[in-house]
Structure 1
Amino acid sequence: MRGASADAYAATAGALTGAGDPATVARDLFGVADLLRAEPALRRVATDASIDGEAKAGLLRQVLSGKVSDLGLAVVTIAVAQRWTASRDLADALERLGVVAVATSAGGDAARLEDELFAFGQVVKDNPELRDALSDPARSRDDKSRLLADLLGDKVLPATVALVQQSLSGSYRTVGAALADYQKVAAEVRDQGVATVRVARPLSDGDRQRLADALSRNYGREIHLNVVVDPSVIGGIRVETGDDVIDGTVSSRLDEARRRLAG
């Protein structure tokens, strides 16, 4: 988000520090984000800069009273009182704050949450049938939700289930894209960055820690590693951190050699 929406998001985020169950607040915010996306008239009124902020807050109180928690309602009313660059930004901001609340609810399992989101994202990426089922417009969201519930069961954290289910909202191009962004938000809650590491063979615990330490020194904050074992890299390592790419794989060096020979 940029401009007024970035300021509005920052102003609203402060409300999440209030007393309340983070998991409950997350469900509230996800629900309101879905409502705003489904009701264009309500969304236009909630983001109309010509309408007094308190009037908009009062409208949302009437619509949501008794349906969401006190803290959830407080966050929403603060949000609608802000100025948003685009009407869609309000729903996107509430969804993002919901992800922050879910990550907070994970507590000491926050690192596990990040790992599980990445792992399930890889499952979706590597299984075309599952990917097609989750993107099929002919299947209802409830149907897709049941499919995910059957797949996840009680194997993962409740926070992971909540975010995987939210990835079906349609606010991202794909479920995989949603999960990747949710993991980044979860990392940011712990003031971390995220790096995707591709190697031909699993890293030992020692190598993994040394790499994490080196990246943390380089970026000035802790880095959470997503390690992907990919035999096609042959050897070496490829590290992607945001827009930065360090490619020291054997396969990349072979490709470069082939290009030079062809030239």
Structure 2
Amino acid sequence: MRGTSRASLAAAEERFEPILAAAGAQSSELGQQLLAFVDALDSSGSLRRTLADPSIEGDAKAGLVAHLLTNADPRVVEIAQSLVRARWSADVDLADAAEQLAFHAALARAEAEGNLAKVEEELFRFAKALAGQREVRRALFDTRVPAAARIKLVDDLLAGRVTDVTAQIARRAAAAPRGRRYVTTLGHIADLIAERRERTVATVTTASSLSPTQQDRLATILREAYGREVQLNIVRDPQVLGGMRIQVGPQVVDATVLSRLADARRRLAG
């Protein structure tokens, strides 16, 4: 998202948080209704463009939302109306913002139930398990595969071994990829969890396990670099001959031997 959309999303998140705090474990129900709003926006480009059009009166757009969400919780209607009254750099940003609020609602339920850290760990392990299953990953975001089949695939993979919130998020990511790769969506949710826990998630790929002392030292370095606590997710990869690859959000610090060799080859090639 560009500046205008980011500011509108931040304002919506700030407005939605007290509602989620009051809803507690029922927050995910609000999220499900917001996802229905997202689906409506995604299924109709004309509707999305109309509701994101800054030249149309805000009250008129709010009225359209109220009609669209006739049976929704008043709190969902209110937050959706605030979204369409805001300004967006692109109409798709409106749908993206509504989806992000819905994910926050699911995570707020996990938070209220004391399971947020568990959801974070379950999503990380699931994404890690998918790393070596290219065809499965492809099927999970391939819209040529029926949504019901994608959801069943997720259910079969998870086999009831995760919390309800993790299953809800994993199923939604498969049901509506929205142009994203499946693992990318899981990574985005991990970032949202980190924000809720006021931490940054760093995925560290190494050839061998790091000792507790090494992990503490690395966490300290990253905390000083980013100005906040950092959650380390350690991934072992035998193809990494030495060093480590650290990814924090979209930023990658690649210090592996393979990376240095590749860089040397590029330099020699001129």
Q: Structure 2 length normalisation: TM-score?
A: 0.86
Counterpart of 1:203? 210
Tell me, what secondary structure is at the counterpart of 2:239? helix
Alpha-carbon distance between aligned partners in 2 of 1:201 and 1:158, rounded to the nearest angstrom: 33
Change (3 A) 1:256 1:82: closer
Alpha-carbon distance between aligned partners in 2 of 1:94 and 1:262, rounded to the nearest angstrom: 47
Matched, 1:237 2:241: no
1:49 Cα offset (Å):
1.8
Give the counterpart of 1:92 among 56, 77, 96.
96
1:244 Cα offset (Å):
4.6
Q: Structure 1 length normalisation: TM-score?
A: 0.88
Counterpart of 1:15? 15
Q: Which moved more, 1:43-52 or 1:201-210?
A: 201-210
Matched, 1:186 2:193: yes
Q: Is the 8 A contact 1:199 1:236 kept in 2?
A: yes
Change (3 A) 1:233 1:161: same
Change (3 A) 1:260 1:86: closer
Change (3 A) 1:56 1:205: same
Change (3 A) 1:61 1:232: same
Alpha-carbon distance between aligned partners in 2 of 1:234 and 1:147, rounded to the nearest angstrom: 34
The superposition leaves residues 151-186 of structure 1 with CA deviations (integer Å, 9 ceiling, x where unpaired) of 213211222112212212122431111111121122
Give the counterpart of 1:71 among 59, 68, 75.
75
Q: Superposition pairs for residues 1-263 of structure 1, below 5 Å?
A: 1-16=1-16, 17-18=18-19, 19-20=22-23, 21-66=26-71, 68-107=72-111, 108-168=114-174, 169-242=176-249, 244-252=251-259
Q: Which moved more, 1:237-246 or 1:17-26?
A: 237-246
Q: Which moved more, 1:75-84 or 1:205-214?
A: 205-214
Change (3 A) 1:256 1:57: closer
Change (3 A) 1:40 1:209: same
Q: Which moved more, 1:138-147 or 1:209-218?
A: 209-218
Q: Which moved more, 1:86-95 or 1:11-20?
A: 11-20
What RMSD in Å do the two structures reach over aligned CA positions? 2.4
Q: Is the 8 A contact 2:141 2:177 kept in 1?
A: no
Tell me, what secondary structure is at the counterpart of 2:94? helix
Unaligned runs of 5+ in 2: none
Q: Which moved more, 1:23-32 or 1:41-50?
A: 41-50
Q: Which moved more, 1:109-118 or 1:31-40?
A: 109-118
Alpha-carbon distance between aligned partners in 2 of 1:127 and 1:109, rounded to the nearest angstrom: 28
Q: Is the 8 A contact 1:238 1:248 kept in 2?
A: yes
Unaligned runs of 5+ in 1: none
Q: Is the 8 A contact 2:191 2:249 kept in 1?
A: no
1:122 Cα offset (Å):
2.5
Alpha-carbon distance between aligned partners in 2 of 1:109 and 1:235, rounded to the nearest angstrom: 35
Alpha-carbon distance between aligned partners in 1 of 2:6 and 2:258, rounded to the nearest angstrom: 41
The superposition leaves residues 118-139 of structure 1 with CA deviations (integer Å, 9 ceiling, x where unpaired) of 2222223310231232233332
Q: Which moved more, 1:175-184 or 1:204-213?
A: 204-213
The percent of aligned pairs where both chains have the same amino acid is 37
Q: How many correspondences in the alignment?
A: 262
Tell me, what secondary structure is at the counterpart of 1:103? helix
